[in-house]
Chain A
Amino acid sequence: MKRVYVNEEWCLGCHLCEYNCAFADMGGVSMASALMGKEIHPRIHVEEGDAITFAVSCRHCTDPMCMKSCIAGAIYREDGVVKIRRERCVSCFTCVLVCPYGALTPVEGSPMQKCELCLSNTNGKPACVTGCPNHAIVYEERGESL
């Protein structure tokens, strides 16, 4: 299965993936007018260390701790993609507590959200991948086939 991977040596830390992610569900209008002056809640985030930056989004684990731990039965796996039924989420944050990758980022006052690989809102590639100016974020098959 194809997943999103980040080649950290190419990541510039520009955070554009975060904006493309936030914009991905909005459709139509221009990114600037859609996001101008708004706090964004992307499902990918750039982490920064001393001399390193890299983007992190859901790994779509083959044995997802978040799914097994979700107290609301809201997280499920479909064709290898780990998804969330947001209407069932009660924002208990148990998934944040158990995800080894820090891939779930809560939004105050809103159900949990996570990367679902843009399968329902774009053609072909996740928005973080198509928008990455340095091609650091890729969408490709590595390793096992499901």
Chain B
Amino acid sequence: MKRYVIIGNGVAAAGCIEGIRSVDTEGPITVVSAEKHGVYCRPLISYYLEGKTDLTKMAYRPADFYEKNGAEVLYGRSATSVDKDGKTVTLDDGTVLSYDALCVAAGSSPFVPPMAGLDTVPEKFSFLTLDDTLALEKALFPEARVLIVGAGLIGLKCAEGLLGRVASITVCDLADRVLSSILDNECAALMQSHLEAHGMHFLLSDSVAEFTGKTAHMKNGAEVPFDILVLAVGVRANIGLVKDIGGEVGRGILIDDRMATSIPDIYAAGDCAEGYDLSIGKTRVLAIFPNAYMQGHTAGINMAGGTEEFKKGMPMNSIGFFGLHAMTAGSYEGDLYEEKTGHSIKRLYVKDNHLKGFLLIGCEERAGIYTSLIREQTPLDGIDLELLKKHATAAAFSVETRRKKFGGVV
């Protein structure tokens, strides 16, 4: 009987368990979980602060998920090393686990750049885990002034979650715009004005020169007094376990289309992995939820002796704040097609007869039709591009394409 070990207990691990069990219903699975929680919906931590969900609803799978799948979870434990020849994993308490197939789904860790005086700040938090969130929540009080370093996806969702619970929120970022990893200047400006209208303050193209207790001295000269500091600068993939034993790594653990690393019988999935991004034709860390599940599921099937490939990873994000939704996917290269109104922007990028990427703000309807054109790398011949630019609609496709998409089981 095959023995499976999964390092990590997030969504990629859940996908891995389900992938394994779709092939092998018997081999024992051991999950090494640094966090003392069953798998939960990590992107919901900001919604938890906002009161839109609760700890029960945040559970990604029912309480009997592990038991039903014959998986044992070692809570509060982390892996310290892997012996690729002896095929064992050693944990921080000295436990040694033998494996026939191993999945590293170790996620990522907050990246905190060196900042002078950070150790003088009494209340500072990261915002990546449920425990981070619960600790942050404990520190909240209605008069609190919050400073968030980082205007990316994590920082801004945190800001949204906190807004109704504190007195003020200031977000600073070295970048000149919000959500700089996914939005261009004009889209970012639209989102920023929407966030400001809801009461957030921004200090962009600026960073903290020094902290002195509860004051941030900014490089541009401003002084920002605060009670609570959230550090949301970015994350780094947890690649150490595989790197230490000579596995190939880039920014993440390099994996092929089967989610196999360069080391036999070791797979990787989720935020720690660097797999193929079809939108750029290269490998890239794609730290997004759908990828985590699908990579984990693919890894699980292959670990159990099945055959599965996942080649359709690409960046895509749907992120909304106070009712204004931004959707982005693919890469922003090629000819630009644009539709704008006073409160919405649509940008489609077309190159070599293919849709390569898009940015949509305030016009999200049926966006998946665009996403699938990128994902399936559909040639745009025979598609009514003029109609498609205006509306994401299957009416722009040929009758034959529609018949395939809508006429049978998909």
Contacts and interface: CB of A to CB of B under 8 A. Distances in A.
A69 B290 contact: yes
Contact of A92 (B43, B395, B410): B43
Interface in B307-322: 316-320
A111 to B, nearest CB: 10
B57 A88 contact: yes
Interface stretch (B70-78, B101-109, B230-238, B365-373): B365-373
Interface string A28-53: 00000000000000000001111010
Contacts of A95: 368
B147 interface: no
A16 interface: no
15 contacts: A50-B384, A50-B395, A52-B395, A54-B406, A56-B394, A61-B410, A71-B289, A72-B47, A72-B57, A94-B290, A96-B365, A96-B367, A97-B317, A142-B408, A143-B408
Contacts of B368: 65, 95-102, 104
Contacts of A8: 399, 402, 406
Residue of B43, B58, B318 contacting most chain A CB atoms (<10 Å): B318
Nearest to B290: A69
Interface stretch (B91-99, B267-275, B323-331): B323-331
Given A61-B410, A68-B290, A93 B318 contact: yes
Interface of B: 15, 41, 43-44, 47, 52-53, 57-61, 289-290, 293-294, 297, 316-320, 323, 325, 327, 329, 364-369, 371-372, 375-376, 384, 387, 392-396, 399, 402, 405-410
A90 interface: yes
A87 interface: yes
Contacts of A97: 316-318, 327, 329, 364, 367-368, 371
Nearest to A109: B323
B366 A69 contact: no
A127 to B, nearest CB: 19
Nearest to A8: B402
Contacts, number: 135
A96 B406 contact: no
Contacts of B318: 92-94, 96-97
Nearest to B384: A49
Contacts of A98: 290, 316, 368, 371
A6 interface: yes
Contact of B393 (A71, A92, A100, A102): A102
Closest CB pairs A-B (n = 9): A102-B366, A49-B395, A100-B372, A69-B290, A99-B368, A143-B409, A97-B318, A71-B43, A73-B60
A78 interface: no
A93 B59 contact: no
B365 A92 contact: no
A49 B289 contact: no
Interface in A94-136: 94-102, 104-106, 108-109
A139 interface: no
Given A56-B406, A98-B368, A101-B406, A69 B387 contact: no
Given A93-B318, A97-B367, A97-B371, A142 B409 contact: yes
Given A8-B399, A49-B393, A50-B384, 20 more contacts: A5-B406, A49-B395, A49-B396, A50-B395, A52-B399, A54-B394, A62-B409, A73-B41, A87-B57, A88-B57, A90-B53, A91-B320, A93-B318, A93-B320, A93-B325, A99-B366, A101-B410, A102-B392, A104-B368, A144-B409
Residue of A6, A52, A62, A94 contacting most chain B CB atoms (<10 Å): A94
Contacts of A83: none
Contact of B369 (A48, A100, A109): A100
Nearest to B325: A93
B369 A102 contact: yes
A5 B371 contact: no
A129 B327 CA distance: 33
